[in-house]
Amino acid sequence: MINLPSHHAPGVCQRGMTLIEILVAIVVLSVGLLGLAGLQLKGIQVNQGSVYRWQAAMLAEDIADRMRADRANALAPISAYTLPTLGAAPSGAGSAGTQAALADWLGRVGALPNGQAKITAPDPQNQVQIEIDWADTRAQGGAGVSSKAAAYTGSGSYTVTVEL
């Protein structure tokens, strides 16, 4: 008779893993991979939202620089750059070059998804508020949206106040 160590019972020798252990390992791995895929998708959505915010910031700075370069038309009693409401058409005031510059800028704002702009008339301190809005449905419910924002409409907005 062969003396086996006490942890081996005669006739019971396990080799490898059972089918149930393999299935459990596959389920755990699948859940982990699905979570990783969801995280990747959310990262892409947030990245796209940041691209829109960056474009809006650049557009706001661009029109502010154009207004500073064209102070006479920007500070006129009827400013050529004033857009009183989102999506409003330019007033038509100012030179042809001013109108062409504003039309070009509004075209670039329109390149944002459902992009619209609002520019207030200069106040007594020569300050102008520039607001750019866009639809950002891809980031709906994404990062940075608190539980208080349950009525999130999937839009983005960038507002800056500059002095001319």
The DSSP H or E segment spanning 133 is: strand 127-135
Identify whether the C-beta of residue 109 lies closer than 8 Å to the C-beta of residue 117: yes
Q: State the DSSP code for 61.
A: H
pLDDT (0 to 100) of residue 104? 92
Q: Average pLDDT by consecutive 10-residue portion of the chain (164 residues)? A: 58 72 94 95 87 92 91 83 83 82 91 90 86 78 44 70 82
Residue 96 lies in a domain: yes
**Strand partners for 117:** 132
Residue 27 lies in a domain: no
pLDDT (0 to 100) of residue 146? 44
Residue 125 lies in a domain: yes
Q: List Cβ<8 Å contacts ≥24 apart for 56-62.
A: 56/112, 56/132, 56/134, 56/156, 56/157, 56/158, 57/158, 57/160, 59/105, 59/108, 59/109, 59/117, 59/132, 60/130, 60/132, 60/158, 60/160, 60/162, 61/160, 62/105, 62/108
**Strand partners for 162:** 128
Q: Whole-prediction pTM value?
A: 0.68
Selection from 108, 101, 158, 106 nearest residue 129 by Cα: 158
User: Tokens 């520019």 correspond to what residue?
Assistant: 119
Question: Range of 109's domain?
Answer: 51-142+152-163
- Rounded to whole angstroms, the Cα distance separating 66 from 130 reads 13
Residue 40 lies in a domain: no
Tell me how many domains the chain contains: 1
Residue 55 lies in a domain: yes
Residue 15 lies in a domain: no
Residue 10 lies in a domain: no
